[in-house]
Amino acid sequence: MGEKTRKGRPKDRLNFLFYFLLICFFALVYRLVVIQVLQRATFTKQALAQRLKDYELSADRGTIYDRNGVTLALSTDMDTVSANPYQIKKKMKVAKEIAPILDESPRSIYKKLTKKTGFVYLGRKIAKDKTDRLKKLNIEGLWFSKESKRLYPGADLAAHIIGFVDIDNKGLSGIELYFDKLLKGKPGWVRQEQDQLGRPIPGGENKYIPATNGHELVLTIDKEIQYKAQLELNNAIEEYQAKSGSVIVMDPRSGEIYALASAPNFDLNKFSQVKDSAVFTDHAISDRYEPGSTMKVITGSAALEANIFTPESSFILPGEIRVGGWPIHDSHERGTETFTFKSIITHSSNIGAATIAKKLGKWPLYSYIKKFGLLRPTGIELPGESQGYVPNPKNWSASSLATISFGQGISVTPIGVASALAAIANGGVSVKPRIVRQIISATGKNVKIDSGKSKKRIISAKTAAMMTNILAAAVTEGTGKSAQVKGYSVAGKTGTAQKPSVGKSGYSGYISSFAGFTPVKNPQLLILVVIDEPKKAIYGSVVAGPVFSKVADFALHRLKILPDQPGEVN
């Protein structure tokens, strides 16, 4: 019995081994069927995905021109060096060789070369001499390609208008940001089948879709007028030791901006070196300030439109009045005098403006402030535009009507004031300010844009004509004499406003301004000058008026606008 059992054991073991191998065989067959038949598509897709690499082809960013076709921003090809870490041997040695050329530390380069990837950037948009030095090293695994870099031929010319882009050509400010989607175009791509070391597989899958370049923009600005505006603005800021300032030059008939200057300024090609980000502020559209006496133009226009007064209406005005317990007086001490409506504006009487506003009433004044667009953004094609502010008349204090009438207790933007005054120059009709004249697609087709010609009547042509004559007198015989231009008639208004203190009540410093247009009977040019916190003088007639005169004289001749007055202006 025991002998049989011993003899049967080898047979049992063979049977067990046979069935075990049979099960393994069927399990293997089943697994092969699953992989090669049932899940074939999935694994094929995964294998292909491991071999296929997509590389984006950046589009050339669209060129930006001034109104005469002068290039303000363009894209140019620069060298970029990258590497396949899998192909780099002796990584530390390579890092030490190329780091000095790329102005990097060997440690940072080594860190990139040890990444578990087939692609890393080592230097983007570098100078050609650096690329040449790297190529001479003959290092396997280094790749050289071309990338588009943004260049600005004018350096600081129209810097706040144009704006700048980051390393990936994404718009960060100005026109570059506002029209980023149109300017950047549509990227293309290359799909390449590679082995695990990143080398192309001969006969493998390769696809190429070219990039579509961005649209081109033609701005309304004139390079030469822009340069002159910046020059005279900088000179005034330096002369009067001012904090900042802006100059706006526009066509009041179309809303086209010839120049929009802000200071302090910066070089677009070196924007990354700017330490104080406040320099990037476009004061012409972002600053809010109390307009001071330029507000009398709105107050006066509202009163004339309401037929409450005429330019010849007479007023007997004391040297000081008290409103809501607060004293109000003019900029220069005087006794009781007789003024006409016209002389209140031309000689910039605060007491006169308060008297006019009292008769007009707070709600009508508030209504015209809104009609002239001072409380909303103009919609100019630039990012960061602020909007003006005035409290609801329900919340006005006993003195608010008086102070708002001559530009205190209300905040406006320079572009808002320019737009409001343009409505008077344009016969009582407002036109939206605009900075873009034309958009051209990559195929050369014009893209339809808002032309800025949508017009809205603010005041009657009769009221606009009366106010224009008053503003012309302000330049010939009133506070705006410093804004006169040889051979041309000018209408305009000075402004000298106290600047509210930050973080505490009261005022500190002044803002000096002048807003005007020329020629008087056929206004083709409107200029606003705003100087923030001048030190050596404060009055708009002294600080801002001369800037207007110099910029206007240059722009009138640049645009070939014929003189309308014989002889010289004294």
- Active site positions, annotated: 293
Which residue is associated with the tokens 């320019």? 418
- Among 407, 409, 427, 431, residue whose Cα is nearest residue 418: 431
Reduced 3-state DSSP string for 420-481: HHHHHHCCCEEECCECEEEEECCCCCEECCCCCCCEEECCCHHHHHHHHHHHHHHHHCCCCH
Calculate the alpha carbon distances from 470 to 105, 122, 520, 530 in Å. 68, 66, 11, 21
Peptide bond into 202 cis (omega under 30): no
Distance CA 274, CA 41 (A): 55
Please choose, from the candidates 564, 453, 566, 478, the residue with its C-alpha nearest in 3D space to the C-alpha of residue 518. 564
Q: Which of 528, 529, 539, 536 is nearest to 497 (CA)?
A: 539
Distance (Å, whole) CA 229 – CA 357: 35
Q: Cα–Cα–Cα angle for 119, 122, 124, nearest 5°?
A: 105
For residues 414 and 362, give the distance between their C-alpha atoms in angstroms, rounded to a whole number: 24
User: Nearest Cα to 57, choosing from 125, 145, 182?
Assistant: 145
Helical axes 295-305 vs 461-476, angle rounded to 10°? 140
Judge whether 60 and 147 are in contact, CB under 8 Å.
Answer: no
Q: Which among 480, 550, 512 is positioned nearest to 237, based on CA atoms?
A: 512
Q: Which amino acid is at 2?
A: G
* Cα 557 from Cα 570, distance rounded (Å): 19
> Residue 143: beta bridge partners?
82
Closest CA to 120 of 78, 93, 86: 86
Cα–Cα distance between 396 and 398 in angstroms, integer? 7
As a whole number of angstroms, the distance between CA 558 and CA 309 comes to 40
Q: Summarize the chain as % helix, strand, coil (round to 5).
A: 40, 25, 35
> Residue 59 gets which letter from DSSP?
P
DSSP H helices in 52-179:
91-98, 106-113, 128-136, 159-162, 174-178
Nearest 5°: phi and psi at 299?
A: -60, -45
Specify the 3-state DSSP secondary structure of 227: helix
**Is residue 527 within 8 Å of residue 248, measured between CB atoms?**
yes
